[in-house]
Structure 1
Amino acid sequence: MTTEETTDTRGVRLSAGDVELTVAPGNGCRVGSLRIGGTELLRQGPRFGSFPMVPWCGRVEHGQFRNGGRLHQLPVNAPPHAIHGTGRDVAWRTADIDTAAAAFTYDLADPWPYSGRVTQAFQLSPDSLTTTMSVETEGDSFPAQVGWHPWFLRDLGDGGADVELAFQAEWQEERGDNHLPTGRRIEPRPGPWDDCFGMPGGVDVTLTWPGRLELKVTSRTEWVVVYDEQAEAVCVEPQSGPPNGLNTLPRLVTPIDPLELSMTWSWRRLG
């Protein structure tokens, strides 16, 4: 294992049994590939795979948020809002790497107005992947969020049936015409979705490719966004707060209280 921090634009490959994971620190530290027994599970391409959402998740209304009396403006990259954080747009440094584990970091900088460090770690086994992300401040306290945006293939490419989603949410965040939660909680509605759901007992969503594979997405957080409006892929996105949470449900990162969250994908083969 190496612990020297280096900037790496190549893919970092982890393996456990016949499972292979490729992380691209130079491309926002996204997972570029997850292959189980030679079968790819993630949509391919430089904007897909599975990317980290940090230091916020989903949309921030008009790209603005307050920290105490200070109003901050973020780049509006999904007009009229800011979306999905800055971590996916920067190169991360490789901090630790081993056969089935790795850790990466980057330092918060413009356009994010506060200094701090983000760490993302991966632990792979033959039947699971656990990813942990943390945000630490190097000075002032600030609100932040962490989460993940995976693009799971709807069709595994072998002529089999499309993936099926199953989950039990206590509520759905009503989505306004501006694509932001209105603040009203409603009974979960049938899809298609681009919606945030509440699971107070922890996120627990199952994706099943009939006859091929079952994959569970779990996390201790109670917030998950499900997006299945595209033909090629579906997204199950655990995150530490709801969309626009920097404004509606701020979670402060302080010098003595960093933000940390883990997510696990666990799978079993069917048939």
Structure 2
Amino acid sequence: MSNEDITLTAGDVTLHLHPGNGGRIAGLEVGSLQLLRQGDRFGCFPMVPWCGRIRDGRFRDGATTVQMPLNSPPHAIHGTARDGAWRTARVSASEAVITRELGAPWPHPARVTHDVRLTEDSLTLTMGVETYDDSFPAQIGWHPWFNRNLGDQDVQVDFSPAWQEERGADHLPTGNRIDPKPGPWDDCFGMPDGVDVTLTWPGLLELKVASREQWVVVYDEQREAVCVEPQTGPPNGLNTLPRLVTPLEPLEAATTWTWTRL
């Protein structure tokens, strides 16, 4: 099937999915409220086959050291799947399934499948990575840019992580776990019972980002938006906490956003 833009609807909720632009969710409108920052680089994009930064763009792949392009020098950031077109496998009024073949510069052929399912009060995103042959380390995550302001007040971010990954001068975790610090953040947090972050736009909307995964990056250093990024491991995790994709065991993850109108 094609990679043409897709519109999903459920009640007065509308989602715009752009397979041709990195499989990006370009907009999510709840009634008159546009929740996602607009622009070709924003919305919400899938991070795969890794999340956040890889130190110097290098990771260990068995006995081999792999070098990825430094798209955020001196590091490689956010995977390769956001850089090209996905293809539509299936679409209905409120659900779409898109796929992306992984290849060069990623060294292993693989397929990524992303299921986008909308209801009147939730969005569920489910992603999987399958290998045809070799086993390899990988990560899955989502990078939404939520609009900081939907009305007269900024969003409030509420979560209770068990720890914060200490961030070094290179923006990568040092390996030390520290007590969570107040923002502003460009930081990874551990939530061993699952990601659970609530965004509240006072008087308008409350939105909960949830996932069974235990890692979340929160980024709020830009004026226009706040990012809450569930992922299967921390930044640089291909080196520090690799999750293997094998022919028998794909890597799968999901996140659900649930909203309540205030």
TM-score, normalisation: structure 2: 0.99
Correspondent of 2:223 among 220, 225, 231: 231
1:88-112: CA deviation from partner (whole Å, max 9, x where unpaired): 0010000010000010001111010
CA distance in 1, matches of 2:11, 2:84: 31
Contact persistence 1:142–1:252 (CA under 8 A): yes
Match of 1:153 in 2: 147
Paired residues for 1:68-217 under 5 Å: 68-156=62-150, 158=151, 160-217=152-209
Match of 1:3 in 2: none
Q: Unaligned stretches of 5+ in structure 2?
A: none
Contact persistence 1:164–1:207 (CA under 8 A): yes
Quote how far apart the aligned CAs of 1:208 are. Answer: 0.1
Quote how far apart the aligned CAs of 1:68 are. Answer: 1.0
CA distance in 1, matches of 2:2, 2:213: 31
Contact persistence 1:103–1:120 (CA under 8 A): yes
How large is the RMSD of aligned CA atoms in angstroms?
0.6
Amino acid at match of 1:86: T
Contact persistence 1:42–1:153 (CA under 8 A): yes
Q: Unaligned stretches of 5+ in structure 1?
A: 1-5
Percent identity between the aligned chains? 65
Correspondent of 2:210 among 208, 218, 228: 218
Quote how far apart the aligned CAs of 1:39 are. Answer: 1.2
Correspondent of 1:58 among 52, 56, 63: 52
Quote how far apart the aligned CAs of 1:38 are. Answer: 2.0
Match of 1:7 in 2: 2
Contact persistence 1:7–1:91 (CA under 8 A): no
Quote how far apart the aligned CAs of 1:7 are. Answer: 2.9
Moved over 3 A (4+): none
1:4-23: CA deviation from partner (whole Å, max 9, x where unpaired): xx231x32000000000010
TM-score, normalisation: structure 1: 0.96
- Is 2:22 the partner of 1:22? no
3-state SS, counterpart of residue 268 of structure 1? strand
Give the paired residue count: 262
3-state SS, counterpart of residue 20 of structure 2? helix
